[in-house]
Amino acid sequence: MGKYLKINPPKRGSKITVAKNGQLQVPDDPIVPFIQGEGLGAQMWKPVQDVFDLAVERCYANAKRLEWLEVYAGQKGDILYGPNNQLPEDTVRAIQEYKVCIKGPLTTPVGAQISLDASLRERLDLFAHVQPIRYLDGAPSPLKNPHNVDVLVFREFTEDVYQEIEWKKGSPEAKQLINFLNEDLAKKLNKQVRPDSSVGIKPISATATKRLIRLAIEFALKHKRKSVTLVHSLMRHTEGFFRDWGYELTRKEFAEYCVTEQEVLENHGGEVPRGRLLVKDRPAHQLFQEMLLHPEEFDVLATTNQNGHYLESLALAAVGETGMAPNAYVGAKAAIFEASAAGPRTEKEGAAELNPTSVLLCGVMLFDHLGWKDSAELVTHSLIKTLSDRRAGADGARAMETINTGAFCEQIIENFEEVRKSRVRQAMKRTPSNAHA
């Protein structure tokens, strides 16, 4: 893509590429751009980066490594590129070129029509918000069995209410649309829109629906998940078609690997055939109830924008980690892994501003995206052990409020070896039974 104005790519490292079939081609030394943002300062980033680098080293020795490339946005963009450059073209081009980015949250400029994060997503056509939600030991949860919550939400992020196509009561546009509806369409439907209404439009297309659900099913198959649930509402011609297009895609592109809930009941005696991914659907109001009563029955959720927003909020509150969840924004040719803006603040002078848990879990998502499963699992289980140890200590409920990023990351690294030994022991225990079978 040519030279950059202010960015200096590392001399070592290789580019991630995308094959013609859409599959990611990941070298053993990928260059990974990162944006510190306003919530991921150097004091936080360096310890977190050490965790990622050492996880790769412990799992793959010298066979794999990450090469980091800082790119700039927010206040740093203004400082380096001059005023009104909070999203420099360099940054957009670098993510396009290297295909991935891990970042902290950015502050929306005063008076801006759209946030920097939203601008970046739109420039890169990142159409899916992907959020893993699982319980981390010791977190305060309103559920009796929060361990049963382990879902991955694929939320469409370009249509539905996200587009904000609406007009306020009394505006010329609202009047024109209401007149059109009442004079033509409403007569056919025997319905009327009140003249004093604000009105909005809720577009849901086959194109956006299918690419989101395709992404969800491909992820579920790759990671051997049990089911994909299509989430919809009672609106037959928008969200109803979201469901129907999802089943259409399943039958056309994934018939060899998937089975629908109806097929299970009609052709397989109620049992999902071994090795098949179950594709089912639920109305949103029913899923909200079932997520609290029987969360273990749901694995991957594919949903429209608004329903996804509600579901993510519900599930995050259920596991008690609303400020620590990671986020991914994924498109056909790029992915951004973004730490949550919320979270416990540190009280220790000189420590990082935000709890690093969300950033660490973004790294886990990055490793999964690269196909580096061993590193993803090592960081995940070491993080869980570290959180559990802290919450079981003298600080109790305040353990995470007084966190120091450097010390916390050192604890995670210290737990690497114990976690690896524990996983080896578990594997050895499983070996005899598997061999006997």
Q: What is the pLDDT of residues 122-162, one digit of tens each?
A: 999 999 999 999 988 877 888 888 889 999 999 999 999 98
Identify the band that residue 421 occupies on the pLDDT scale cut at 50, 70 and 90.
Answer: confident
67-70: strand order across its sheet: 67-70, 31-35, 100-103, 335-339, 326-330, 128-134, 150-156, 300-303, 227-232, 277-283, 258-260
How much is the pLDDT for 187? 73
pTM reported for the whole predicted model: 0.90
| Higher pLDDT among residues 230 and 19, named by residue | 230
How much is the pLDDT for 341? 63
List the single range of 85-99, 111-125, 250-264 with lowest mean pLDDT: 111-125
Average pLDDT, the chain: 87
How much is the pLDDT for 350? 41
β-strands 100-103, 31-35 pairing: parallel
The 3-state secondary structure of 49-118, one letter per residue: HHHHHHHHHHHHCCCCCCEEEECCCCHHHHHHHCCCCCCCHHHHHHHHHHCEEEECCCCCCCCCCCCHHH
Identify the band that residue 234 occupies on the pLDDT scale cut at 50, 70 and 90.
Answer: confident
Percent of the chain with pLDDT over 90: 65
Handedness of CA 250, 255, 261, 265 (dihedral sign): positive
Identify the band that residue 38 occupies on the pLDDT scale cut at 50, 70 and 90.
Answer: confident
List all residues 6 or more positions away from 241 whose beta carbon is below 8 Å from its beta carbon: 204, 206, 209
List the single range of 1-5, 131-135, 410-414, 428-432 with lowest mean pLDDT: 428-432
Structural Rg of the chain based on CA atoms: 23
Handedness of CA 164, 170, 172, 176 (dihedral sign): positive
β-strands 300-303, 277-283 pairing: unpaired
Identify the band that residue 178 occupies on the pLDDT scale cut at 50, 70 and 90.
Answer: very high
Q: 317: how many CB neighbours lie within 10 A of its CB?
A: 14
How much is the pLDDT for 394? 39
Q: How many residues does the chain have?
A: 437
Handedness of CA 298, 302, 308, 312 (dihedral sign): positive
Q: Which domains does the chain have, with CATH numbers?
A: 1-135+324-437 (3.40.718.10), 141-156+204-319 (3.40.718.10), 160-202 (no CATH)
Mean of pLDDT values over 177-193: 83
How much is the pLDDT for 428? 54
Task: Give the C-alpha separation, 110 to 70, whole Å.
Answer: 25
Torsions phi, psi for 19 (to 5 deg): -75, 170
